[in-house]
Amino acid sequence: MGEDLKKFANYIARNLPKTVDDSSIHYGELTLYTHPDRLERLAQFLRDNDKCLFKVLLDICGVDYPHKQKRFEVVYHFLSLENNHRIRIIVPVDDGEAVPTLVNVFRSAGWWEREAWDMYGIPFEGHPDLRRILTDYDFHGHPLRKDFPLTGYTEVAYDENERRVVKQPVSLQQDFRDFDFESPWMGVKELLPGDEKALNQESETEKEDGKVQD
């Protein structure tokens, strides 16, 4: 299987010179890496070429890697029913960098691209209706980014005076607790890995008790 996928990757590279930047094989599936400017050409080739026939776009999703030079990756999954094969395209993009829409190649791309925009803020150039799809239209931020706060920015509550649900800034009832994870099992009799803090605290308590008795 691996050798066949390597031959297939070479076949695509030969027919589309300077379109595929890199390729890899993991878990029996081929992944192709390309630039946003070459995405549409590659997708159309995979759909129409007689040896490919990847006519089903299964999914488009984003991945956030804050430590990378290109922060995001847009991942496309395709299926060939004729050949019973799957293939993946990955397009690395920077924050705010636009990716061309694939709506003209796969109509189903419309909703997937809206989701990637909503969750990650990745813009898709040429999309006919790029707006939020999972969050409210006035939602602030993109919730699957690694720097998005777990609490969000706003919360909703029913206002008795206005008799409707209103949004307001998040107000926490208590400060965040700082967990150092040195003692997840305080109180157990047997010392478990990571419970050194509890042992030290018990020793300090015994010393203090000894001083009081003296």
**Distance of alpha carbon 74 from alpha carbon 91, whole angstroms:** 5
Q: Which of helix, strand or coil describes residue 67?
A: coil
Q: What's this model's pTM, rounded to 2 decimal places?
A: 0.76
Architecture of domain 2-142: 2-Layer Sandwich (3.30)
The secondary structure element, H or E, covering residue 4 is helix 2-15
Encoded tokens for 99: 């990716």
The per-residue pLDDT string of the chain (214 residues; one tens digit each, 9 = 90 and over) reads 688 999 999 999 999 999 999 999 998 899 999 999 999 999 999 999 999 999 999 999 999 999 999 999 999 999 999 999 999 999 999 999 999 999 999 999 999 999 999 999 999 999 999 999 999 888 889 999 999 988 888 888 888 998 998 888 887 776 665 555 555 555 545 555 555 655 566 566 655 555 555 5
**Distance of alpha carbon 32 from alpha carbon 30, whole angstroms:** 7
Residue identified by tokens 């890496």 is 33
Task: Give me the residue spans of the domains in the chain.
Answer: 2-142, 183-214
In this structure, the dihedral spanned by the alpha carbons of residues 145, 75, 77 and 41, taken in order and rounded to 10 degrees, is 140
